[in-house]
């Protein structure tokens, strides 16, 4: 059940971020005043950034629930891929297009953008967060639900080996 809920939330998150990404990009294709296009882009890109973080946190919480219930971490790593994909799209493609748009229309005279470097830092940071979150949840799960069956099986196997006659 947790997996189905996660997949529904993931689909909604992808649709929301795809909408904001496309709508922000469409402002850069505007044939109107460049200053108005910049304002429209900044507004919608500004909405996309908190939406990405909120949806990522919601997916990570659901991933924690799936990991706790089933012991499988696939949802947490899918959340990482979701965040990474939209961070890379934003910083490598969308912000670079915005940078070129401002430069082409004379609204900015900078020579380079640090957006790709920011994307790399955010992706590495998110990977570390997911890794340590997974580690903590698995450790807490192991302490909460100790594996008693494995401990009971180990002495039984060694007792059977002791009872077996020695071939010599």
Residues of the chain with pLDDT > 70, as a percent, come to: 86
Contacts of 103 (CB under 8 A, 6+ apart): 109, 110
Q: Residue 167: which pLDDT band, with cuts at 50, 70 and 90?
A: low
Whole-angstrom distance, CA of residue 71 vs CA of residue 64: 10
Rg (CA), the chain: 25
In the numeric block, which tokens belong to residue 135? 């580690």
Q: Determine which of 14-18, 46-50, 122-126, 151-155 has the lowest per-residue pLDDT on average.
A: 151-155
Whether 151 has a pLDDT exceeding 80, the answer reads no
pTM of the model: 0.79
Cα–Cα dist 88/114, whole Å: 13
pLDDT tens-digit series, residues 99-116:
888 888 777 766 777 888
Quick one: CA torsion of 27, 30, 34, 40, rounded to 10 degrees?
-20
Reply yes or no on whether the pLDDT at 157 is more than 60: no
Residues found in the chain: 168
> Token digits for 140?
């807490």
Residue 164 predicted with pLDDT over 70: no
């Amino acid at each position: 059940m947790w997996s189905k809920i996660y997949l529904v939330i993931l689909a909604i998150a992808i649709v929301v971020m795809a909408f904001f990404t496309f709508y922000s990009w469409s402002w850069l294709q505007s044939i109107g005043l460049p200053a108005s296009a910049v304002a429209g882009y900044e507004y919608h890109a500004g909405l996309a950034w908190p939406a990405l973080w909120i949806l990522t946190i919601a997916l990570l919480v659901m991933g924690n629930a799936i990991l706790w219930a089933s012991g499988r971490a696939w949802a947490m790593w899918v959340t990482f891929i979701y965040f990474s994909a939209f961070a890379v799209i934003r910083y490598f493609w969308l912000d670079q297009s915005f940078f070129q748009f401002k430069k082409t229309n004379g609204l900015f005279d900078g020579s380079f953008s640090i957006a790709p470097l920011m994307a790399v830092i955010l992706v590495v940071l998110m990977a570390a967060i997911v890794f340590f979150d997974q580690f903590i949840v698995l450790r807490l799960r192991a302490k909460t639900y100790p594996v008693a069956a494995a401990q009971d099986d180990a002495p039984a196997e060694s007792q059977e080996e002791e009872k077996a006659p020695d071939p010599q």
